[in-house]
Amino acid sequence: MNEVCFKNLTKDQCWSLKTYEDSGGYSVWRKILKGKFTSEQVIDELKLSGLRGRGGAGFPTGLKWSFMPRHSDGQKYVVCNSDEGEPGTCKDRDILRFNPHAVIEGMAIGGFVMNASVGYNYIRGEFMEPFKRFEGALEEAYKAGLLGQNINNSSINFDLYTHLGAGAYICGEETALLESIEGKKGQPRFKPPFPANVGLFGKPTTINNTESFASVPEILRCGGQWFADIGVENSGGCKLFSVSGHVTNPANFEVPMGISFKDLLEMAGGMRDGAKLKAVIPGGSSTPVLTAEIVMNMTMDYDGIEKAGSMLGAGSVIIMNESTCMVEVLTRLAHFYYDESCGQCTPCREGTGWLYRVLKRITDGNGRKGDIDLLLSVQNKIMGNTICALGDAAAMPVESFLRNFREEFEYYIKHRKSMVKG
């Protein structure tokens, strides 16, 4: 446990440059600066490591980097997505707080591989403490001569800037994030073209999640195979899981991929007050909810969670005990997506409000016969019909909540009160 991003978690001043360097930090970057590590080697090691994008989509990082138009002329950018806003997710916040230098080193390496001399770390607007920590680390790194122009006479240039968001969930969508950095309203762009070709300020841009970048230095230091061996087939390495909800010790845990859900639950101190587990959202609020029976035999890796009927997402495990009213949970989630839809495309703009209003009337005791079918029909009209994934994120929980807990919804509509709470 805690081998990569959280390696120094228990050390004093774990976010400082000294602590980071004492444990081997920046050794890969220094090798690169000395010309002893090529970008091909970086990509090969990353491919070997099995690292997959930690922001939720799970696309293999090594492959992504190899696709970039690295050798094209002109300015290119690397961007770190620290706009962590999915309900249930809080891992990137702690990486920025406790290991900011790993993000810096990872981004610098990314910049080197992609021939990008400028990087931006887009940090969620509410993350004031992580923002200050990261800025502090950036200052340390510049002072130590690890960033800037012609770093250590290597003729490598890399400048890194932080950009603080302003509180929109949609800016976590990579193209909305780029718009936001450009000073525009954060709205997703239509793709293609993809950021790899036309990204920030119209230039080729590599965007990765904070955890992905933070994992890169350690993977390169210890070897891709070492990382791959920590995890399981198709899910290399370890992963941060943010366990929240009705557990005794909600926290972030960096554990090997493939660990059983049971073990993860135990690490979090088990169910709070010994209550019975009812449901789990395994990957953040947009991933389908699972029932207790299913999760108890689930392993925490990409394939394991998919087999159970959901997605690993960003590794945000929301634990719910028997006292939870699933109708009210879904209503709250629907309100979140209703509130956060950017409004650009029709199905999401109009559909998220519709979903929320139907659910709200159910929880207000005004549900109607046919509302369940209506919810399913509306979510199906949103699903897959929008520019970005926010529409899908709003639609997916509706389908899974209704599939797994339909009787609670029927009860609420019929009796005008919660089946669980009475």
Partner 1 sequence: MTDIEIDINGNIVTAKAGEMLIVVTDRENISVPRFCYHKKLSVVSSCRICLVDVEGAIKPQPACSTPVVQGMKVQTQNVKTKNSQKSVMEFLLINHPLDCPICDQGGECELQDLAVEYGSDVSSFSEGKRIVTDSDIGVLIQTDMTRCIHCTRCVRFGVEIAGIMEMGGTGRGENLKIEPFLEQGIQSELSGNMIDICPVGALTSKPFKYELRSWQMNSISSIARHDLVGSNLFVQSYKGKVKRVVSADNDLVNEIWISDRDRFSYESLTHENRLLKPQIKVQGRWNQVSWEVALDYAIKGLNSHILKHQKADQLGGLVSNTATMEEFYLFKKILTEIGCDNIDYRLNVKNLDNTILLDSNIKLDALEKIDYALIIGTNIRLEQPMINHRLRKATKKGADIDVLNVMVFDFNYSLHTENIIAPNKIAFILAGVLKSIMINDGQELPDYLIAIDVDEIAKNIAYKMLNSDSSVIILGEHIINNVDASTIANLVAKIAKSANSRTLNLSITGNTIAANLVGCVPQNSGMNVNTMLASDMRGFILLDIYPQYNFHHLGAAIKAFEKDDTFVISLNSFKDDIVVGYSDVILPIASIYETSGTHLNINNDMQSYTAAVKAPNEVKPAWKVLKVMADLLELPGFNYEDSTQVLAEISYQSHVIHNHDIKDNLTSYHNGISVIWQNSPYSIDAVLRHSETLQETKIGQMNNAYMNQTSAKTLKVSVGDKYLGVLVIITDTVADDCVFINANQTTNIYGQV
For residues 61-80, which are near partner 1 according to CB under 8 A? none
Euclidean distance between the first and the last CA atom of the chain, given in angstroms as a whole number: 42
Choose which of 43, 342, 372, 398 interacts with partner 1 (CB under 8 A). Answer: 342
Tell me: does residue 374 bind partner 1 (CB under 8 A).
yes
Q: Which is nearer to partner 1, 99 or 386 (CB)?
A: 386
Contact region with partner 1 (CB under 8 A), list: 115-123, 281-289, 323-331, 349-357: 349-357
Nearer to partner 1, 31 or 381 (CB): 381
Quick check: 49 binds partner 1 (CB under 8 A)? no
Using the rule CB under 8 A, is 335 a contact of partner 1? no
Q: Candidates 148, 157, 353, 404: give the one binding partner 1 (CB under 8 A).
A: 353
> In whole angstroms, how close is the CB of 384 to partner 1 at the nearest point?
4
DSSP letter assigned to residue 384: T
CB atoms under 10 Å from CB of 285, counted, come to: 23
Q: Which tokens is 353 given?
A: 């409000």
Q: Compute the 3-state secondary structure of the chain and give helix, strand, coil in percent, each to the nearest 5.
A: 45, 15, 40
Interface with partner 1, residue 254, by CB under 8 A = no
Taking the complex as a whole, the smallest distance from the CB of residue 285 to partner 1 amounts, in Å, to 16
Is there a contact between 386 and 347 (Cβ–Cβ < 8 Å)?
Answer: yes
387 scored as a contact of partner 1 (CB under 8 A): yes
Token pair for residue 27? 């050794």
Separation of alpha carbons 162 and 151, rounded Å: 19
CA distance 164 to 212: 19
Q: Where are the beta strands (DSSP E) in 44-157?
A: 77-82, 118-123
In 309-383, beta strands by DSSP E: 316-321
Binding mask 294-333 for partner 1 (x = CB under 8 A): ----------------------------------------
**C-alpha span between 178 and 69 (Å, rounded):** 18
Q: Which listed residue (295, 305, 314, 345) binds partner 1 by CB under 8 A?
A: 345
Window 256-275: residues binding partner 1 (CB under 8 A): none
To the nearest whole angstrom, how small is the minimum distance from the Cβ of residue 168 to partner 1? 7
Among 384, 407, 415, 416, binds partner 1 (CB under 8 A): 384
Pairwise CA distance, residues 8 & 135, whole Å: 19
Measured from the CB of residue 172, what is the shortest distance to partner 1 in angstroms?
A: 14
Binding-site size for partner 1 (CB under 8 A) equals 30
DSSP 7-61: TTTTSTTTTSHHHHHHTTTTHHHHHHHTT-S-HHHHHHHHHHHT-B-TTTT--BH
Restricted to residues 161-200, the positions that interact with partner 1 (CB under 8 A) are: 168, 170, 185, 187, 190
Residue with tokens 């094209």: 72
Tell me which residues touch partner 1 (CB under 8 A): 168, 170, 185, 187, 190, 338-347, 349-354, 357, 374, 377, 381, 383-387
